[in-house]
Amino acid sequence: MSLPFVLILVFAFIVFITFAIFNTISSRKTSVTERLERYTKLSEKAPAALKKVEKEEEEASLFDNLDKAIEKKSFSQKIAAELSKADLPLRVSEFMGFRLLSTSLLALIGFLVSKTLGMIILGGIGSMIPPFYVKHLQKKRQKSFNGQIEDALTLISNSLKSGYSFLQAVEMVARETPDPMAIEFKKVLRETSLGLSLEESLNKLAQRMESDDWDLVVTAVTIQRQTGGNLSEILESISSTIRERIKIKG
């Protein structure tokens, strides 16, 4: 098989996968954002209304047979956690489908080019493309999140000084900061509105972001809520520490 034809196949494959992923993500993200806002607004009204929406969302988002078969498996939960860290609104079965498609198409191209050896090599590469893409998005989000922590802490600290509660300060961060900080704080609001404690929700955020700076914030907030103290001053001190660390790193 000629090299130009192989290159055309590879290019077509990349375009197809990219279009499929971004089309799925864009449509699903809009839906997720709308649901987050809906939960937040309803949580301020009546528990009965919130429960009604929860039931509707559960019925509307039932996984297909594959999802039901694998959702309780350890590997499925691990994949779901990785997708959450990357803020990829994909079902585990959808991610596995993309990975299978990537593996199959590149393996086919490899077989056409170099029979068994080419199939094995390109198939292996195809299998690794989706996980590498997820890792890339995770690192990108984590870097952006870390870069926003200082501003978020300043906003929270100023809100506390103005007499707002910590949860009200969280709401302000969710409204007034860009993503990924905003979407992560909206998740915190949603989880707390559904009964999760603030400390638990902040810890879940720390697990998604894998941020040493945010771990420090969560520890400070947890200790302050247990023992008391001026949280505004504590957060200002942490913000200053983060600022100095950034300067040292250059």
Question: Mean of the pLDDT values across residues 128-132?
Answer: 93
Q: What is the pLDDT of residues 136-172, one digit of tens each?
A: 999 999 999 999 999 999 999 999 999 999 999 999 9
Q: What is the pLDDT of residues 74-95, one digit of tens each?
A: 888 899 999 999 999 888 888 8
Q: Would you place residue 175 in the very low, low, confident or very high pLDDT band (cuts 50, 70, 90)? A: very high
Same structural domain, 117 and 237? no
- Look at residue 244 and tell me whether its pLDDT is greater than 70: yes
Burial string for 201-238 (b: 16+ CB within 10 Å, else e) reads bbbbbbebbebebbeebbebbeebeeeeeebbebbbeb
Q: What is the pLDDT of residues 3-47, one digit of tens each?
A: 566 656 666 766 666 666 656 655 555 555 555 555 555 444 445
Domain termination residue (choose one: 140, 166, 200): 140
pTM of the model: 0.75
Same structural domain, 110 and 152? no
- Look at residue 112 and tell me whether its pLDDT is greater than 50: yes
Indicate the burial class of 248 (C-beta count within 10 angstroms; 0-12, 13-18, 19 or more): exposed
Same structural domain, 58 and 172? no
Residue 2 vs residue 169, higher pLDDT: 169
Same structural domain, 16 and 133? yes
CATH no. for residue 236? 1.20.81.30
Same structural domain, 26 and 99? yes
Same structural domain, 157 and 182? yes
Same structural domain, 32 and 145? no
Question: Which range (38-42, 136-140, 220-224, 233-237) has the least confidence?
Answer: 38-42
Same structural domain, 61 and 177? no
Q: Cβ distance 145 to 181 under 8 Å?
A: yes
Rounded Cα distance, 243 and 247, in Å: 6
Non-local (6+) Cβ contacts of 131 within 8 A are: 82, 99
Say how many domains are in the chain: 2
Residue-range definition of the domain harbouring residue 14: 3-140
| pLDDT of amino acid 249 | 76
For residue 54, what are its two tokens? 């929860």
Domain termination residue (choose one: 88, 117, 140): 140
Same structural domain, 8 and 125? yes
DSSP 194: T
Same structural domain, 65 and 118? yes
Non-local (6+) Cβ contacts of 172 within 8 A are: 155, 156, 159, 164
For residue 14, what are its two tokens? 């990349």
Same structural domain, 146 and 242? yes
Which phi and psi (to 5°) does residue 72 adopt? -95, 0
Within 13 A of 211's CA, how many CA atoms are on the CB side?
29
| pLDDT of amino acid 228 | 87
Domain termination residue (choose one: 140, 156, 180): 140
- Look at residue 59 and tell me whether its pLDDT is greater than 60: no
Same structural domain, 147 and 191? yes
- Look at residue 192 and tell me whether its pLDDT is greater than 90: yes
| pLDDT of amino acid 180 | 96
Question: Which range (61-65, 125-129, 131-135) has the least confidence?
Answer: 61-65
For the packed helices 181-193 and 198-209, what is the interaxial angle rounded to 10 degrees?
150
